[in-house]
Structure 1
């Protein structure tokens, strides 16, 4: 991927994220920024590279810096937490324990799921509403998490979080059954 393509995708992802967090409709952001609704749609779909002036207007309307809006690290889509980096919060000599596997800032509906994927199976999902985040923890096997066409291996004991407003799937490319727990956080309807 070229630097320009990476920048275009980062801008699209960050614009969707910040517009969702601010609760702005396309029309509201367009009016605040003084740019067309069509331009915002094209930017959010990574179909155009706007001028610096347009990007500054949008950043100002969102109340974020230009660096924040363009930062490819900002709001990374996928974060893998290896088992040894999970945080044990409580334990007893008898072996009881609680471990924070992975977390995210979220508000709105929250769902908890249990998944079993047999070898060779795939579960696919269309994009969820902007601002939707998924957290998952693999308890057995090795999951191949595919987010926006990019595969991420998630081993048993590891956890992941990602922004789920793009096409994504859960794949078992191995010979062992994959077991995982997953939560889905959907932003509140506005």
Structure 2
């Protein structure tokens, strides 16, 4: 599964070069006068608009450890939920902070977003995280084998999330297994008002910053906090940390 994203292109690869990119390509110039004229134009030219680096694009695209079969599911759900709310890609990009190009690639199922990108979109749409990863509802007992689990990861793979509930429908309570690499940290944006996180550490030591609050959790420690402000998970230890998280929303949003 680690190489499953080989066929999924980055937004940079799927986006044709802009006029600005084309103009920035150097071309042979004859004569000193021509060179001085070009130097003057470069000095007057405004700085390029973000995203302006490969790192910014890479941040939006998930690590290869993410489940590639989630990409089309997220894409279909995003398009349906966005159109239901009458939002253009441009308006959703402004509301979520996710680039318009990336949103378009997600809807086409051609780019797998990171955990953080999905959270940004879900918050902008006012929906639970699970609304973007849900599949068709099924009834009865559901057995979820670890070998068949679907994982979402950060862009560098240092943080991963495995849903421990069926991807069948949006729900008010969600249950996740989280893994954070040694000496890594994950920044989480504020979730919708009323969202609660109940987290227990089972392996390693994890620091959690919530606003001005700072908490250190060893294996076996648990914490419950309001997640409607930005927060950080940090692993300062030498081993990967494992956590289990119960996310509770104020209300279920379909």
Given the two structures, how large is their TM-score scaled by the length of structure 1? 0.41
Greater per-residue strand proportion: 1
Higher relative contact order (CA 8 A, sep 6+): 1
State the structure with more CA Rg. 2
